[in-house]
Amino acid sequence: MTIRIAVIGAGLMGADHARIVAEEMPGARLQVVCDRDAARARSVAEALGAADVASDPEAVIARADVDAVVVASPDPTHAPLSLACIRAGRRVLCEKPLSQAPAECLEVMAAEQAAGARFVMVGFMRRFDPALAAMRAALAEGRIGRALVMHNLHRNVETPAADFTGAMAITNSAPHEFDAARHVLGTDYAAISAWQARRSDDRVAPVVMVLETTDGQIVTVEVNNNAAYGYDVRAELVGETGGIATNHLAHTRTDAGRAACLPYDADWRPRYAEAYRRQMRAFLRFAATGAFPEAAASAWDGYAAAVAAEAGARALAEGRRVPVEMIALPELYA
Ligand code: ISE
């Protein structure tokens, strides 16, 4: 059975997802590329051989020739379009965040619970990164003892948008770490504290967060959106009898001038190329079978990241430790 995919949003991430579907997923067909910018949608669709182009996302979701949907449109559309997919019975891979507002995530979860099934897979693709999967497996297999501390570095070359702020380092970038640490540790958060350094220029300075888990562990997160030297994301997990760290991923080492050089990627797309492809294969299996992938992020995980991010932004603004408070886990997500 070929899964006919509609990609909503033909920008940076949407075009990448469309390319992966069209060129690397044998069991899928790029059926529709949808974007409010008709020229941009047409350009991506024609380059990838999509069957059709559209500009109305709600109409695309309802089309009889669309089996599943990838939402990669602007963040504020993620939850409303996920709700439309649930109502239409379409499984959806929704780019992160599901929403920055926990209340919108609750609406999506309520719709899935009313439908009696999960429809939403949230695009926290790092869960599919081989290094993070190996870290999670090492902990699960008891190779490092009980987890105590997880350290996370998340460094971008420069802020992804001119209006990026310190709070957005927490609400836009850090949700990856909030989700990855929950996924590896199998726990939730009790509280978060946040501080921001001061740069000599007007660029967004690094934000450092400390999260306490409900199981007594500590998670540290440094987000530096203006690291300049490269896209560098790493983690180290410290256990009671050992530890495991993800390495800087470089496909080459250049030896010259009595020095060795390991290049950094420019952004997340090449660094997580394998993770995006594993995530898409998992989504296509979900779309075909309805079986939610064990490693994937559900609407509940989207909610958990949004709650942590909201509390973290408050901790930074108010200069205090803020409790992370969530509803009880609904049975659909247990
Ligand atoms: C961006 O939105 C992403 O999702 C990237 O994975 C992350 O590294 C970057 O910091 C975010 O701005």
Domains within the chain, CATH numbers bracketed: 3-125+274-297 (3.40.50.720), 127-267+308-323 (3.30.360.10)
pLDDT of 71 reads 98
Nearest CA to ligand 1 atom 4: 173
Q: Which of 78, 156, 233, 267 to mutate to test the pocket of ligand 1 (most atoms within 8 A of CB)?
A: 156
Q: What are phi and psi of 114, to 5 degrees?
A: -65, -35
Tallying the residues shown for the chain, one arrives at 334
68 contacts 120 by C-beta, under 8 angstroms: no
Taking the C-alpha atoms of residue 274 and residue 137, their distance in angstroms, rounded to an integer, is 18
Taking the CA of residue 38 as centre, how many other CA atoms within 13 Å lie in the half-sphere pointing to its CB? Answer: 3
Model-wide pTM > 0.85 = yes
CA of 242 to the centre of ligand 1 (A): 30
CA of 50 to the centre of ligand 1 (A): 27
Taking the C-alpha atoms of residue 114 and residue 218, their distance in angstroms, rounded to an integer, is 36
Nearest CA to ligand 1 atom 6: 268
Taking the C-alpha atoms of residue 4 and residue 28, their distance in angstroms, rounded to an integer, is 6
CA of 220 to the centre of ligand 1 (A): 18
Taking the C-alpha atoms of residue 276 and residue 23, their distance in angstroms, rounded to an integer, is 13
Low-confidence ranges of the chain (pLDDT < 70): none
pLDDT of 160 reads 79
pLDDT of 16 reads 98
Nearest CA to ligand 1 atom 10: 173
Specify burial of residue 332 (Cβ count, 10 A radius: 0-12, 13-18, 19+): middle
Q: What percent of the chain has pLDDT over 70?
A: 100
- Cα separation values, 16 from 10, 12, 44, 138, Å: 9, 7, 10, 31
75 contacts 12 by C-beta, under 8 angstroms: no
Under DSSP, is residue 289 helix (H, G, I), strand (E, B) or coil? helix
pLDDT of 145 reads 98
Residues touching ligand 1 (Cβ under 6 Å) are 96, 156, 160, 172-173, 176, 268
> In terms of Cα–Cα distance, which of 163, 192, 158, 157 is closest to 175?
192
Place of tokens 């439309």: 84
pLDDT of 334 reads 96
